[in-house]
């Protein structure tokens, strides 16, 4: 039987359960006897380098890679599924790699942030190309949401959150703040559109 490859994307803000969904989907294939190779960008050291882990402690063995070429060089002939967590932190070579893997009859499943803290398409490492290009290539896209944790007078918003609020030293991060700020205390929260604050963002004008 000829196998048909595909690209599946799991996207959304932080705290929307993307890694859990990736692990769940990959586990189904492993139970069915498919050979899986899982990867994560080396930059993401939250839970060690050799596992994909969700916030609720599910784990999947994965290889940490620092560029997309390492996914190709490690690819084994009989691998049916290639899974990648936090795919937005890789280089834009992933755009070609995803199409190539699908064309070779493999299932490519990736999870990642669609938007950066500014609410703009997440750019691949060192590139002007973004996650948007990978998402539009997909055969299936699941966009997950979190719950907005903005609170006013002790009341939580509780709306569906589609954005990630970056907070630096207790304040919403400025549009032009660098991605890495040495010595600053940083936090991230899931927010709805109304409660996503980006000081100094370009104003949208209707002409
Ligand atoms: Zn809200």
Q: Which of 2, 8, 21, 86 is catalytic?
A: 86
Stretch(es) of the chain classified as CATH 3.30.60.20: 147-191
pLDDT at 47: 52
In angstroms, what is the span from residue 11 Cα to ligand 1's centroid? 19
Has 86 been annotated as catalytic?
A: yes
In angstroms, what is the span from residue 149 Cα to ligand 1's centroid? 7
Which of the four pLDDT bands, split at 50, 70 and 90, describes residue 14?
very high
What average pLDDT does this structure show over 77-99?
97
CATH number, span 147-191: 3.30.60.20
In angstroms, what is the span from residue 18 Cα to ligand 1's centroid? 20
In angstroms, what is the span from residue 151 Cα to ligand 1's centroid? 8
Which of the four pLDDT bands, split at 50, 70 and 90, describes residue 191?
very high
Per-residue pLDDT of 135-186, as tens digits, reads 999 999 999 999 999 999 999 999 999 999 999 999 999 999 987 677 778 8
Per-residue pLDDT of 97-126, as tens digits, reads 999 999 999 999 999 999 999 999 999 999
Which of the four pLDDT bands, split at 50, 70 and 90, describes residue 90?
very high
Per the CB < 8 A criterion, the answer to whether 108 and 82 are in contact is yes
pLDDT at 48: 53
In angstroms, what is the span from residue 205 Cα to ligand 1's centroid? 23
Per-residue pLDDT of 29-50, as tens digits, reads 999 999 999 999 987 555 556 7
Stretch(es) of the chain classified as CATH 3.40.50.300: 6-144
pLDDT at 184: 74
Domain 6-144: top CATH class:
alpha beta
């Amino acid at each position: 039987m000829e196998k048909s490859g595909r690209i599946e994307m799991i996207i959304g803000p932080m705290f929307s359960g993307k890694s859990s969904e990736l692990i769940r989907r990959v586990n189904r294939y492993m139970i069915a006897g498919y050979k899986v190779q899982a990867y994560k960008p080396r930059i993401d050291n939250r839970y060690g380098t050799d596992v994909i882990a969700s916030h609720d402690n599910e784990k999947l063995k994965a290889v940490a890679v620092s560029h997309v070429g390492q996914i190709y060089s490690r690819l084994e002939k009989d691998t049916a599924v290639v899974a990648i967590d936090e795919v937005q932190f890789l280089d834009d070579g992933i755009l070609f790699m995803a199409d190539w893997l699908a064309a070779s009859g493999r299932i490519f499943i990736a999870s990642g942030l669609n938007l950066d803290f500014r609410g703009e398409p997440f750019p691949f490492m060192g590139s002007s190309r973004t996650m948007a290009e990978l998402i539009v290539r997909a055969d299936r896209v699941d966009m997950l949401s979190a719950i907005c944790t903005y609170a006013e007078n002790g009341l939580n918003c509780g709306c569906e959150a589609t954005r990630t609020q970056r907070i630096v030293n207790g304040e919403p991060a400025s549009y032009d703040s660098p991605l890495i700020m040495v010595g600053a205390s940083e936090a991230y929260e899931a927010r709805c559109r109304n409660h996503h604050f980006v000081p100094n963002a370009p104003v949208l004008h209707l002409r």
